[in-house]
Structure 1
Amino acid sequence: MNIRYYIDKPNATNETAIYLFVRNGKKKLKFNTGRKIHPKYWDISEQEPKKGYPSRTKLNVYLTNLKTDVINAIEDLVQKGITTLEEAKDKIATIVAGKDLQETKVDFLQAYDQFLDVYKATRSEATVKKYKTIKNHLESFAAHKRTKLSFETIDAAFQENFVAYLVHQAKLTNNTIARKLKFLKTFLHWATERGYNAKSDYRKFKQKEEKVDIVTLSYDELMSLYNLDLTEKPKLERVRDVFCFGCFTGQRFSDIAALQPEHIKGDKWHLHTQKTKDILSIPLNVFALEILEKYTSKGKKLPAVSNQKTNEYLKELGKLAGIKDLKTHVRYQGAKRIQKTRPKYKFLGTHTARRTFCTISLKKGMLPEIVMKISGHKDYRTFRRYIDLDNNVVDIAMNSAWSK
């Protein structure tokens, strides 16, 4: 008998089923192993996952053991006088089903580790780090409740208790909790697709997000920072330049930090974004080109330091640039209102640059569709969170559009 594996759709653009193929003469049978894999990870000649597939070892062990069990079962049947595939069909099907059932009984946290291994291959390091943070919260929650995490307990009561833990013990705001629940739902959906989770309660998990104030620089504040004389403070000067480059291009700090001189073609930045894998062509305005010329003319890249250090230095820079107007931030932690009123410079961070670009561009008359094309935003709902248009801008726009 010939026993081998093959994938259902070798030319598929997404995951496809792995089948066990058994042939005896002209008679042949096939059995769905319950496993899927993307064709790009499948070695047709070797009948196994290619090197580089995140769960290669685990899947190989499963397939090898399944094939061994089927071979042993067929040999036993032959010794009993059963020589046709039709007679062996039920026995093989039982082995395949039993093997799959045994394999799918995966512990919750073991499944989460598998999930992280898979996501490492296709997601940015920053995104994977967010999912690791969720796992840490889940483990801390289980320890706090003195319970064991399992797919069977992920229901409405779990959500209520987990959210209460994130509010009272982890001290997270409602919007942060809402984002974490979305990440958790992504994992649970992944686990459901692989047969690890049979409950669908998680699909209804939801946490209300409150509208929050965002921090952006006005054009005058940005120019004040851009023109600030930092000759005697070279470290701050480099941080300022990288931050302002973000304000002039609208791109994420991670992409700016990865910018290489060869990515610049004339007055365009050809960017392959790290987070979304998009390919963008960013037109560089005179200010952005001036900053680039300052470093690339010497064969250097933009001198980005770590996100954390940049955030620290930006507060010092904002103070030096006189960005001191009082700003009130309101957040909610459960029903608790958390209000902070501080000088604006204390709220500055790397994310402020991207928001500043979007807001100033709109105020200067750029169409939202054009700003989104440059910033890489795909939908207006997400883009809307990045803009800060005051009532004065709205009034001017109305009067301009409807003047006699």
Structure 2
Amino acid sequence: MNAPHIISLGCRMNIAESERMRAMLAGERDLVVVNSCAVTGEALRQTRQAIRRARRDHPAARLVVTGCAAEIDRAEIGGMAEVDGLVANAAKLDPRSWNVPGEAPPIAPARTRAFVAVQNGCDHACTFCVIPQGRGTSRSLAVPDVLREIEAHLAAGVQEVVLTGVDLTSWGHDLPDAPRLGTLVAAILAAFPALPRLRLSSVDGIEIDPLLFDLLAHEARVMPHLHLSLQHGADLILKRMKRRHLRRDALELVARLKVLRPDIATGADLIAGFPTEDDSHHQANLAIIDELEIVHAHIFPFSPRPGTPAARMPQLAREVVKSRAAELRARAATIRARWLESLVGETLPVLAERGGTGYAPNYAPVALPPGTAAGTIIDVTPSGLREGQLA
């Protein structure tokens, strides 16, 4: 193995960090890095599975694990026979952690889209979440640093920049004068007038500032795709989760945006089977998929994480949790299929990815004509659906 093999699990933050590690470690031979996730018990299981598979595929390589599981579940992961070493999550982008030169900032190779991590960590204390244990307190990347990274990606041919963060909408609170995320988005658009697409990853709707709202509603280069860190559709469960929004906050936000930008597509994270959730709470969870028209749904069956308040609350039976997650997924699939069908016959500008597919501005997946070059934006008028894609 002449180049490092990096396996990225979990969130878009990990994807962004894996790309930077890939460039930083480009000269290393016989090295496998598992950039792990521990957000749920299932994520931890998948991390262990990925480690075992990586060892089978690369028996002679040095296998190092970093990421949230290497921080939160350090003893368990470090004790696996397949693992040669751990790198702390906070140190994984520091060349000194890998004994490599660090004269130049690591820049990802040319991609169609670039994930730019502008914020890390979290200062909130949601009762189900272990991520602050794995990533620490909230830190923001200063505007000049963000612009430098984006400039390098654009020079490498990137057509779309995706801003990511553990708590993206808290960006700026720790910087001088505490700017809001809208300030950063406006600065990027002003600095790079030729940037075709700017997309936001998951946001906390209650933290969307007026400038960011205005850009989402009116700026064509900001993609019409809003993914909410919603978590639940019932107010009592939201309070027990220690979230800072209520059901009506999400409904009002999406309604206001859709009046101004009708083509905006809504995504959301939802947890099924949170402790104390009864059937009425579950029905509210199902209903909010319809009411928000959630077409990009991430459904997570609740799994207790050690050390969190939710792990000490009265738990639901696992079969109930799994059943409710399946119902949420089925409802979301119905809404998504209806939405995709509504786009048939509409001409969409699609950013071509590798593998013959691409994404419209609203993040609808589109099958592309054979031979379409990755990284190009082409107009496609789909005539139907094929395997969950417009085609």
Q: How high is the TM-score relative to the length of structure 2?
A: 0.22
Higher Cα radius of gyration? 1
Higher helix share: 1
Higher strand share: 2
Q: How high is the TM-score relative to the length of structure 1?
A: 0.22
